[in-house]
Amino acid sequence: MSKKQVIGSLPSKVLGLLADLMHKLQHGVITVRELELFLQRQNPFAISDIQSEWQEFYRKYFRLSVSFSDASIPDNAGGFDRVIFIPKGLKLNDVLKAMKKCFPVSSYIDDLDKDVIDNVRVSDCNYAIRIRERVEADEELKNLSANKLRQQGVNAMTLLERLVYELKYFSETNEHLDVQNWTLCAGSRGRDGGVPCVFWLAGNGRLRVGWFFPGFAVGFLRARQSVS
């Protein structure tokens, strides 16, 4: 190797690769987590298996052909191991229809898309979030109203994300989420300011979508924090 091909103690090709790596990190093409896995001699792109899994889920339950290659998966902030993918254009009523083919569902209103009009995230593009891998909603957020959560800057799941998680969890386990507590979908608001909630009514064997006033707080009503 000639002296012209070496800068300092590193070959110029290596420096070029490092510069390319920094560019990709800055623009989100490569995530910090992927770099961390590479440095640990693990496959940093095994996460693509999760994308394939979700693509098959939407094909099976929604008859949608979707690719999540353009959806960036957020870094795990610690304990947020479950990844949820939402495809562009997915509606609340679409999820209700898919769920009703698998188990009974009841809702406080027939047309959720018409009523739930304020969401911290919307499906105008493919996206992914991370949440804690739990059957019950976050105990850390019990006794906190939607208003208080917003004041504290807590990034909470939307109703759409919670319903998708329900169907995905059912597809994996044939069981349900929130059998003892209720998820307060604090990332969403109804037309009149009400906050949707979701829970499984074990006695009636059905999923229930209800709502509460944004200032209401009680121990069994808990949001699910998300990373987006």
HSE toward the beta carbon, residue 1, CA cutoff 13 A: 10
pLDDT given for residue 11 in this prediction: 79
pLDDT given for residue 224 in this prediction: 98
3-state secondary structure of 88: coil
**Neighbouring residues of 219: CB distance < 8 A, sequence distance ≥ 6:** 142, 143
pLDDT given for residue 4 in this prediction: 46
pLDDT given for residue 201 in this prediction: 96
List per-residue pLDDT tens for the chain, 228 residues long: 444 455 556 677 888 888 888 887 776 667 676 787 788 777 766 545 899 999 999 999 999 999 998 999 999 989 999 999 999 999 999 999 999 999 999 999 999 999 999 999 999 999 999 999 999 999 999 999 999 999 999 999 999 999 999 999 999 999 999 999 999 999 999 999 999 999 999 999 999 999 999 999 999 999 999 999
b/e burial code for range 34-45 (CB count within 10 A of at least 16 → b) = beebeeeeeebe
Q: Is beta strand 105-107 parallel, antiparallel or unpaired with respect to 182-184?
A: unpaired
pLDDT given for residue 156 in this prediction: 98
pTM beyond 0.85: the answer is no
| Domain ranges for the chain | 31-227
